Chains A and B, each alone.
Chain A
C-alpha cells in the first residue's frame, strides 16, 4: 500500500450543518490569481474576531489542536459557492480529510480533484465521532482509503467511495491527461454535433461579434 492510503491524526469537531464555502473561505481571500495564502482565510470569521484577533474558544485556535489534520462536521458540508479556494485553503491549513454526514456536490468534485479526502458517515456515527473529536484525549482518527474504514475512539465503520475517486486519491490520476487521450473522439463528436446543430458552433464568439460589430 502507498503511504497515502491511511490518513491518521488529530480530529477537530465543527458541529455545524450547511457549513458553506462562504464561511470556509470568505470573499476577501478570493482576490488572488494563484492558490497561495489561503490558509490564512480558512474559516476566518469562526477563527478571528472583528479586530483580527484569534478567538480563544475556537477549536482551531487551541494549542492542543495545533496539529489538527481532520475535521468532523455536520450535513451538507461545503454547500453554496463553487469556489475551489475552500478546498485549497483546507489543504494549506493542513487538513487532509473532512468527515461529515453529507457533502455538497461541487465541493465534493473540487475535493476529489485536489486529493482532499471526504468521508461520508451516517448521522449517528457522526454524532459519536464529533464527541470523540471534542475530547483532546480521544480525538485520534484513522481513515484507511484502501480498505475504506473510518476509526475514531468510539466509531469503527466502513464508508463508501467510488472506484474512480478511490483511484484518484490513491494514484493521483491526472484527469486532464487522461481526457486528452480522447482528443480524436472529442473532435469527431464536435463535428457531428455541429453538423446536426449548426447554431451551436462558435456560439459565444459569433454572438460577441454580432453585438460588437459597428
Chain B
C-alpha cells in the first residue's frame, strides 16, 4: 500500500463514497453549531421537511451574541440577538440536539467547550459553521469550518461533499524560549508564509517543539493556522493527547480503552509519506510578536519597527502596507513597542483557556492596570471561568483592575456590546486584526496572553520579557 499522510488516513476512514476525482462524501463525527450561522440552515431543512438523522453527533452553543457582563441570569437585551438564541433553542429542542444555552453553567465558545469535556477525540471529523474549527486538529481530529448551506447538508445527511485538500507539513525544531508562547510562534509562521500561505492545504505540524507543547497550546496553534488559509491543521496524537482525552472521557474504559489506544496509535503519517509542500522553522528564534496591520500575517517582533511601504519588494505589498498603515495609523519606521493602547482583551477561542489565563495572571500578579486602559478577561467557557476562580485568578485580575467577565466570543468579533471605539487601540489575544473587526475604526494588535497582560500594566505595547520576574536570586549572586 502506498504511504499515506495522517490527513489522507482521516479522509479515507471517513469516505462514504467517492463522488469524482476531487470530491468525496465525507462522514462527520461531530458537528458543532452556534446561534448566528445555523438558523438559515435549519430553516432550509424544515422547508424540505427533513429530520436530523443522528442528533447525537451534533451539539450547539450560544456564544457570539451573548453579553458578557458578570450578571446572573444572563439576558440578551438586543431583540434580534435574543431571537437568534430563541431560534437555536427551538431548533435544538425540535431535533433533540444538545444545547449549552445562555445560562448553562458550562456555556462557552464552541472550540473551547467541545475539547475541554472530551467531546473531541483523535481520528474524528469535526465540523462547524465557524472557520476556526481547525482548532480540533490539535487532538488529531480533522476539523474545518463550513458555510450555512453545508451546515444544512450535514444536518440532513451527517455527511459533506468534500473536496480533498493537499498536504503541507510544517516542522518546528528546537524549543520555545522563555517569555514566548505558541502564539508568538504561529504569528511568526503567519508572517513568513502569509495569509494565503496554506490556502488549499491541510497542515500537519511536527517536530520537537510541537511534541513539547501542551494540548492547550496545540489548540491555539491549530486555531490560528486558519489565518494562513489552511483547510485544516493537524498534530498526530501522542501521549500528551491521549492523557488529555482519557482524563476527559470517562466513557472510554476497559476494552473500549484498549481498542481506542490501538486505533489512535495508527493516526500518524507514514515515514515515507509525501507532502506537497514542506516548511521548517526554528522555535529557538521565536521572540514575542505583535501585529501592526489589518491582516494576521502583518506581524513583527516586539523589538521591530513598523514597515516602510516604499521598502517593500513588490507593488502589491507596497499597496497593502500603505493601506494597512493608513488604517492602523502607525508611522513607517517607528518602533512598535511603546504604542499606547486603550483596551486590553484577553479572550477568544484562540487564547481563553485556563493555561492562557494562568500565563496572563503571572504577569499581572501584584501590579495594576495602567490609567486610561480598559482591560477585560473573558474566559472561553463556564468551566474555564470556574477553574480560574478556584485558583484565585479572578481576584488577581480584578485586584489589578481588570474586568472579570462571563464567557463568550465578546470583543473577538464585537457582535455583543463589547466593542472597541473608533480610533482606539486594543491589545488582543484573538486571531483577527481585520479592519473594523472589534468595532468600526478600531485597531487590533494581536499578541499572546502574557503580552496582552503586559500591555495592560504598562498601557502600551510592551515586551513582556521586561516584566517577567526572574526566580529570586540569592544575595551576592548578582553580577
Contact = CB atoms under 8 A, between A and B. Distances in A.
Interface of A: 15-18, 20, 22-23, 26-28, 30-35, 45, 50, 74-76, 79-84, 87, 102, 104-106, 109-110, 113-114, 123, 162-164, 175-176, 179-180, 182-183, 185-187, 189-190, 193, 196-211
Interface stretch (B78-86, B281-289, B354-362, B367-375): B78-86
B316 interface: yes
A33 B98 contact: no
A129 to B, nearest CB: 15
Given A17-B316, A26-B436, A164-B22, A76 B199 contact: yes
Interface in B248-266: 249-252, 256, 259-260, 263
Given A20-B432, A34-B39, A179-B159, 10 more contacts: A32-B80, A33-B39, A76-B199, A82-B37, A84-B149, A176-B157, A187-B53, A199-B252, A204-B98, A208-B98
Contacts of A199: 121, 249, 251-252, 256, 260
Given A114-B149, A199-B251, A180 B157 contact: yes
Interface of B: 14, 16-17, 19-20, 22-23, 25, 27, 29-31, 36-37, 39-40, 43, 48, 53-59, 65, 78, 80-81, 83-84, 87, 96-98, 100, 106, 117-119, 121, 123-124, 129-131, 145-150, 152-153, 156-159, 161, 163, 195-196, 199-200, 229, 231, 249-252, 256, 259-260, 263, 295, 316, 319-320, 323, 413-415, 422, 432, 434-437, 440-441
A28 B78 CA distance: 11
A82 B195 contact: no
Nearest 9 CB-CB pairings of A with B: A202-B56, A208-B98, A205-B56, A110-B147, A31-B80, A33-B39, A113-B149, A204-B59, A84-B147
A30 B84 CA distance: 10
Contacts of A50: 422, 440-441
Contacts, number: 216
A74 to B, nearest CB: 7
A104 B199 contact: yes
A151 B159 CA distance: 38
A88 to B, nearest CB: 8
A203 B59 CA distance: 9
**Most interface-central of B23, B39, B40, B152 (chain A CB within 10 A):** B40
Contact of B158 (A74, A81, A190): A190
SS of A interface (majority)? helix
